[in-house]
Structure 1
Amino acid sequence: MDAHDLALGDDVARLWPRPCHDDDKYSRGVLGIVAGSDAYPGAAVLCTSGAAAAGTGLIRYVGPGRAQDLVLARRPEVVVHADSDAVERLPRASAWVIGPGVADHPGQEAVVGAVLASGLPCVVDAGALEACVRARYAGDRRAGAESVLLTPHEGELVRALGAVRHDVTADDVRRDRAGHARLLAETARATVLLKGSNTLVATPGGGLTTLATATPWLATAGAGDVLAGIAGALLASGLHAPDAGRIAAWVHARAAALASGDDPDAPTGAGGPITALDVAHAVPRVVASLVAPRGETPQSG
């Protein structure tokens, strides 16, 4: 690891939420998740798996029946809610993840709107990005910039900026990823995690964190859904969006290297193929290597 990556590792050890003996599932953070759809039900499984692997005390999932069944088959501890019920009364949560795999589902879109109107901390991905950016650009910012984490890839960044009259192309973004991440952060008054081989975390006012290059094996379907779940777990524990974004991305990349058999301290593209669930399954080992119980010294990575 380079010096910057080592410093981020120190931040993980210092900031990662650790349970106390008197904690319960509620005090450890309750995360609501609106993810998946009839077309992309797997996103719900991947997002809830990422959140569970990161140590969320309780996960509430809102989505269609098929996705609920898949989530419960993989993660029976998750509490599921129908979107019609969630619109009437938003389930109690410390923070939310909205948007992964959400597509053309009016019920889920209504819940996304209710979450944005609640002012609660949230990770905003994929199918919820444009609605969130439009609302915040128009001045509807019930959640502060420190409580909202947008997680686009390059194509989603282009569409989100286009939704608020910043017409850019994918080539424009590739030429200046940092500048466009900062532009979206300033426009939406939110923290932006721009996904890619070099993940960036930008904040309003020009702040920028550049993470080390991840193993290329991480370029696999569903990896972003796992990342959203990890970041949501950290928001639910009380971290602000800039810390939640950069720490989640760091752990996500390390978990991918570990799962692939690459060297997490010097990602070079060695190792072998992985799936998104492989990344989620490796997260607890990454955290355990860095975070010791309170009163003990964290181990080095």
Structure 2
Amino acid sequence: MSIRAQVISTVNEKGIDEMGPNDLIVKYHSVDVRTRSRLIVYSNQKAVVRFQGQITGVFDPGAHDLQTPANPVSQFFARLQYSGNLPWEVEVLYVSTARHEARSEGSTQTKELVPMRYQVAYYFVISDPVKFINSIQFSELKYTVNDFAVFLSPIVDQSVSQVLNMTSLSEIYANLHKVTDAVTASLRSVMDEMGVNLLTCRIVRLEPEDETMRRIIQFTAIGLDPTTAIRARLAEIMAQRSDPAATNMMLGVPYYPINLVIGGAGVLPQIQQIPPSVKPSEKPRERREEE
């Protein structure tokens, strides 16, 4: 049994920092934290020490010495008293205090029941690591930004749907600020309870799920009237299928193929030239002279 003090940090034995840019919490890989251990906290981090499920200290960036009951002597007596199970379980959780970006996306409907797809981006900083750790649950060694976004997705979806369900399709983009305000207010209320400071929030994407509907809206945005925008979308689909009538659809004029004849193109080789008819009363001039 080793009685040497150990160094605790997010840098592993290979010199690689286990806390990446997408990580919010990194748990130290070993729970055998002995007394007089050296705790190293790097910039944009805070270390939270949890002893038997209760948080006992928060450490700022720098080097710190830990005083824990997890030493070789206490471990020896604990194994005798608790049948080999150590009750002195010490956890070191590193919490990132850097600025992070998370995104939540989903689908909702407008007042006319038109399916809409949205994506919301929000930027935040963890201001209270203790409240943040007590507000979430994670079973792995890391808690990432993606996990936090999944946790907040129902709140974002409720805020977006609350506004869009009462707004018509033609008025959505004029009331986009209402969606942003509703999402910001809901996220800020929840994040404040979790010890997270919301910096800003914005709507990254808000568009119909149907591709044709999206293209028609884009055509009307450049000044086309709805009828011309619909013809432009149909012409686009026809052009993708190599249909020669795509240009006529865009211009709104009929399309007459060159080989269009009565009876179809299949009888075209069988058509012969019909000689001009001669009336019975009119005889050729040479034949009358002979008579």
The TM-score, its normalising length taken from structure 1, stands at: 0.21
- Select the structure that is richer in helix: 1
- Select the structure that is richer in strand: 2
Larger radius of gyration: 2
